[in-house]
Structure 1
Amino acid sequence: MFRHLVPGHISAGFVSVLVGYTGAAAIVFQAAQAAGATPDQVGSWMLALGLGMGLCGIGLTLWFKQPVLIAWSTPGAALLTVSLAGVSMAEAVGAFLFCSALITICGLTGLFDRLVNLIPKTLASAMLAGVLLQFGLKAFLALETGFAIAGGMMAAYLAGRLFWNRYAIPVTFLAGILLSMAGGMGDGLTLPVALTMPVFVIPEFNPAVLIGVGIPLFIVTMAGQNLPGIAVMRAHGYDAPASPLITWSGITGLVLAPIGGFAFNLAAITAAICMGRDVDEKPERCYLAAVWCGGIHVFVGLFGATIAALFAAFPQEMVLAIAGLALLGTIGGSLKTAMAEDGEREAAMICFTITASGLSLFSIGAAFWGIAAGMAVHGLMSWRTNRSLARREQA
């Protein structure tokens, strides 16, 4: 039993959840409120998302013995904040079911798996580096507003690297908590302790809402979340087939949509936190960090209001610092892989820069446009190379 209580696994799982909730929970609240959700329904959304992410992630992780992290669709939540105005909660649930059905079909047919197999490893790594770069940068920008906390955490990180390399991130996280408490975190904080109860909504299928909300939600979830999510796994050497991962995330949405599970997908940024060498020197054991992450997600879902208040108490500088420092190794390794092949370097660099730019077109995020542009350039470069070889053979 105690062999599973590895500090690196536990801290990686907790940091992954912390980064996910502090970075995007507010968007989920706004999306629920846009649909006219009552406070109980908002809590039900958080319950559905916590249970879906936790149970689906744990099941897939244990089945494949690889770290599989499930997340809610953050770009999807952002889309819902502007598209649910004037839409009833019942119609919104109908759109959620429609989106999850499309995701399930995409997984069952193997379309997504075939698409992923077309992407070279250099481009997948370039996209991953671009997605994560902002987190690395923000860790140091946190020095501007919270020098004591961010600076102290960086000092702890370097000390950990020098003396306790395997435990560098847990040491850094502990230092962040202590520094935050010294700065007044928790003063006057009251946590309402109560289980969150599900609120069921009978769906209504309005064709206009299915097309105007369900289809865009499906597109941004697949392009903005599942594509980077599978790229993260491939960049770290994990080869679990994409189709069953996508299928089960869709089925999870079908089950939990009536209580607020609007869309589930593969995690990208938070997944990377559980896959690096900082988590475990043996990559085949990193799946245990994903299990811890899933368990914490379930706990957070069950006590949604309590945990939301606790996470909100953490200073922003602490969250930014721990996320960025935890991802430095992954960013560096991804850039190394992306630039490894001379013939693919141009395409990888374009993919990286577009992804890192944060570009958003037609409500679709930079990760999709980065990989699309990278694939286009890669195709053109391959065509030119093949054409030159053909001419030489003819000569």
Structure 2
Amino acid sequence: MESMVKKGRKMTLADSDTLTRHLIRYPNGTSDMVKEVGRVRRMHVFMKHMQEAVESVAKGGDDPFSNHIVGGQVVRRLTPQGRAFWRSVVHADSELLELCEGRRLNPWLRLGVHVARKWGPRLRGYTTHADTDALLVPGLPKLLARQFRLIRYVVSRKAFQDELKGLTRVARDMYASCAELMLKVLAVHSRLLSMRIDLYFEADAKLISESKAARLAIDKFVRELGRDNIIDDVLAYIVVREDGLDRCIHYHVWVAVDGHKHRDGFHLTEKLGKYWIDRCIGSPVLGSTKNCWERRAEYEHNSLGLLGPGDEEMLRGLRKAIAYMCKLGKMPHLYVKKNMGRNLRKSQPPRGQRGNPKRGAPRKAGNDVSVARRVLLGDLAALKHARREAELLPQDRRAAGVGAKAA
């Protein structure tokens, strides 16, 4: 349980809800009530380890086993790559694999789950008593080597690489469009009140979170938000749809209002949540929200509160928040299914100041957004290059000259 507690934060009731209680009786007659990680938490751990293992196999050149001389005899042992892959496959039980059914996994996970579903039952037959290593018996090295070759072959295919690049490009384009919106808003408005809220479906509504009725609910929220019918003086908003293992379809929302007129970000965010539950969903049983303002002191770089075009610390927080919403630089385990429409919805950029031109010498139009541009967009090209380099396989890196010494 200790590993589940985030730094500087105690476990909440929502965290403990993912734990399952078990009564263990010992031979001496005593018993203990213990908490075991529930299936949703185990699924997150499984996905993380599976993706890391598949990426390691694809990008590395090691074999699953290595030979060692012990007492004059050759002994085969699992390499670090082989051990990580082995554990991720043999621990993929049927309950975890069922949670993946019908979900749109990222390419790495989809490949790993396919291997685990097809070869997991056979590989588990070689498991040791401790269930942490493999029995070194004839046939297993050949079987594992076959899986390594399969993974490396699939990942090297153009279709797989194109899918990775496409997902990365979509995330980068989403972030860039949101950052450009921020710059245009800050060029006109010198003080924003920045807020964030997450919108969820609950209970039976989760089962229909992909339905037309659910889409109509978020359509109404976005429409009325843009018309100032929920809160006043909205200057910009960003709404991103996401799929979660337990949450199913949910929405991350960022809103900015005029900071010269408003200060109480907490209660304005509460009004957004109340409108979602009461007017869009219709029942607190079927909908819920998370007011991010409540935890703003815990963020390393906070972006909630008054924000100006020269506030570098707040802009760093805004960059981190928008990058998280757009999944920039980090591929999520699950994606929203295709053919469900736009996953990003945002307000139109401001049209600028209206009215008669001011008297006197011409002045520079708008606020200086050079600091905001540097923070929000300055290293986007460098991130694009680093991401491309990280995705290259060893043979592609050599062909591209990445990492080669200068002549």
TM over 0.5, yes or no? Answer: no
User: Could you state the TM-score of these two structures normalised by the residue count of structure 1?
Assistant: 0.23
Higher share of residues assigned helix: 1
Higher strand share: 2
Higher RCO (CA-CA < 8 Å; seq separation 6+): 1
